Chains A and B, each alone.
Chain A
Amino acid sequence: MNQLSTSQRVFRGVLLGLVILFFMFPIFWIFLMSFQTNEQILRIPPSIFFEPTLINYQALITGRLETQAGNLDIAFMENLWNSVFLSSSAVLLSLVLGVPAAYAFARYRFRLGEDIAFTILSFRFAPPLLVLLPLTLYFEDIGLSNTYTGLIWVYQLISLPLILWIVRGYFEDISPDIESAYRLAGHSWLQTFLKISIPLARPGIAAAGLLSFIFAWNNFVFALVLASADKQPVTVGALAFVTASGIQYGQIAAGIVLSVTPTLLLALYAQRYLVEGLSLGAVKG
């Protein structure tokens, strides 16, 4: 790949530029909007020049929006906290359950193995609404409605199959020979699993964990249907800016920026492991 000609280099550069433009422009525009008042956003035609204001962030963070029409209470920060709590708990639980299972499916052939794997995946086939509707009735009966526990459990529908199937692929790419060598050196199975297998699959685990975190974060129908207002994530919270006196685009934009930040930080952190993916090539059979 080092012997790229100049024209190829330019071509690649242009392509990458277009890609960044397409994917980043809306984000950039949302970012700009978050520093504008509604009046500035709703200009005809739209303009890139404006006097930036922090009013949207101020409203979200202090929880009070002061307009001429009156004051609005905003529970955005609570919503944000709910999102952080629900998504991370759901993903952690999925990792604890899913990584060992993924390993089992990757390493062993066992009776019903593929069936179990497929069954777990098949929870992903079920349209969320299909299970959600009867689930509201059962949750009412077993006392799980309007609890974080109930929500985290239902979130497994989103995160567990994703983690399981992605991590499984990574485990399959790790040669069993490395594990055997370590085992032969007198280490137990558990030690091998924790010290060798998991670290080797780390890029896969990081990517799967990150993606399922994002999907859990973006969900809103589960919490909406199953829990009361104090447990709603940002996705529901941000819709509160559609108000009778106009839709508050500035606040929605600021809400998006704030809600994306934790995930972005997580992604920047996990990116180190994604890079380590390369070292995996060295150990492959």
Chain B
Amino acid sequence: MSDKAKSLFEAYAAGKMSRRELLTKTAQLGVAFGAANLMLNKASTDLLAADFNWKAHQGKSLKLLLNKHPYVDAMIANLENFKSLTGMNITYDVFPEDVYFDKVTAALSSRSSEYDAFMTGAYMTWTYGPAGWIEDLNAWIKDSSKTAPNYNWEDMLPGLRASTAWNGVPGGELGSADAKQWCLPWGYELNNVAYNRNMFKKAGVEPPKNMEDMVNVAAKLQRDLGGPYGIGVRGSRSWATIHPGFLSAYANYGQKDFTVSGGKLKAAMNTKASKDFHELWVKMIQDSGAKNWSTHTWYQVGTDLGAGASAMIFDADILGYFMNGGDNKEAGNIGYAPFAANPNASAPTPNVWIWSLAMSSFSKQKDAAWYFIQWASSGDHGMFGARKMDFVNPVRQSVWDDSEFRSRINESYPGYLNQHDLSAPGAKIYFTAQPLFFDLTTQWAETLQKMVAKSVPVDEGLDQLASSIDRQLRDAGLG
């Protein structure tokens, strides 16, 4: 701490800082936990300022709508740097994740100008974009008068850049040439296996190699451990049950949710290969899933792994990351492994969740809002978050290449970098972008619940699902 304070005084002595600034900054050293890190990052923020007028919107004040999340904690810890860089003020509303998207929908659908920018997932932009609530950010990214020369958009992982861009046409390919950039990737999660290393050792098993292996390993764990269940996956009646492990494995078999031909969509969940995969998945949950699987959201999946109630999960890698820390009972025991469901696949194909930043169309100061979005998604802030905070997974290649970040992760999260590096090339959104995403995917989850509860056979359930989806697509003029 004293070193950092010293450097402050050095900066003051060198005339880089006013007396008032020095006084407030040293006071922050004493109270705010982020302050120390803030100082470390100050130097690079100055670099960022190099040949771009960051002060163009000096004096303006922005308001953000944010979800309670470690990414937000990292951003807030670094926020003073943004303020001093731009001379702008930032206020924010943080809402719990359970109700966050309801708040976003309420704010945007009432065309409220209160919030200038907000956090979102890529799927949500398939609603917000066509509804006219958010801006196509290409207008800013491609404008050199508004974007710093060292912003380096190309540094963002290509799968994520594509996954957040859509031309708005139902079934339109993500990241196509005419796509609109509805949001910028901020942090992301891909889906792989995270497991309890002690339990795996005890049962004498290795992380599963493919879907069939996963079913068997999970069953063996359940049998041999006498207590913990074999595998944790989400199961609540929500679209969120489909998007993590389930869709990642499904996509690995080359299966699609829809086929698109001539601008029309058609349900594709009832192919032979899809049915076989569903059979395996359902059997796995019946044999070795959580007893309360049908109410499992991400946090139950995580909590069970962290508390030693489950032996492995097939879910977001960062969920396994967070369960390896904090006051979780199994902290330090969690291992990570890439997972390709299809024995014939060359690599994993994880579907991704991308926490992104979007700009409200109702904002009255869009250029200023862009300054914030640009700064928050910059390599500079990404580096700060990845090195000092829990801003994982970063969305920029330069951050993944950073040796300080890599050695920090390698030390406390063995295997984490490996699972990521092997899976990242295939990591993207495997859903078909279309406006009925939430309805139809929730219905998919509902059908899965019925199949696991044995109230409908897999074969029949999927045929019913497909025909119901086709009808809804026709009603909406999409099928």
Contacts and interface: CB of A to CB of B under 8 A. Distances in A.
Nearest to B113: A140
Interface of A: 37-39, 42-44, 67-72, 133, 136-137, 139-140, 145-146, 220, 224-226, 228-230, 232, 236, 239-247
B326 to A, nearest CB: 4
B317 to A, nearest CB: 13
Given A225-B103, A228-B114, A42 B96 contact: no
A44 B309 CA distance: 8
Contact of A242 (B33, B96, B308): B96
Given A145-B110, A228-B114, A242-B96, 5 more contacts: A146-B114, A244-B70, A245-B326, A246-B306, A246-B328
Contact-size category for B: 35 or more
B439 interface: no
Given A44-B308, A229-B94, A246-B299, A145 B326 contact: no
Contacts of B309: 42, 44
B110 A246 contact: no
A34 B105 CA distance: 33
A137 B110 contact: yes
B99 interface: yes
A236 B327 contact: no
Of B303, B319, B327, the most chain A CB neighbours within 10 A belong to B327
A240 B96 contact: yes
A155 B163 CA distance: 42
A238 B319 CA distance: 21
Contacts of B110: 136-137, 139-140, 145
A243 B329 CA distance: 16
A136 B33 CA distance: 38
7 contacts: A38-B327, A68-B331, A70-B73, A224-B103, A244-B318, A246-B299, A247-B303
A240 B97 CA distance: 7
B111 A39 contact: no
Contacts of B319: 244
Contacts, number: 106
A71 B36 CA distance: 14
Given A69-B390, A240-B68, A246 B99 contact: no
A55 B33 CA distance: 19
A76 B278 CA distance: 44
A145 B327 contact: no
B307 A69 contact: no
A71 B33 contact: yes
A228 B107 CA distance: 9
Contacts of A70: 33, 70, 73, 389-390
Nearest to A137: B110
Nearest to A72: B73
- Closest 8 A/B residue pairs (Cβ): A229-B93, A136-B110, A239-B96, A42-B307, A245-B326, A225-B106, A245-B322, A240-B96
Contact of A246 (B92, B111, B303): B303
B302 interface: yes
A37 B111 contact: no
B328 A44 contact: no
B326 A225 contact: no
B329 to A, nearest CB: 5
Contacts of A232: 95
Contacts of A244: 69-70, 318-319, 322, 390
A246 B94 contact: no
B233 to A, nearest CB: 18
B372 to A, nearest CB: 18
Contacts of A68: 325-327, 331
A136 B106 contact: yes
A240 B98 CA distance: 8
A243 B309 CA distance: 19
B402 to A, nearest CB: 20
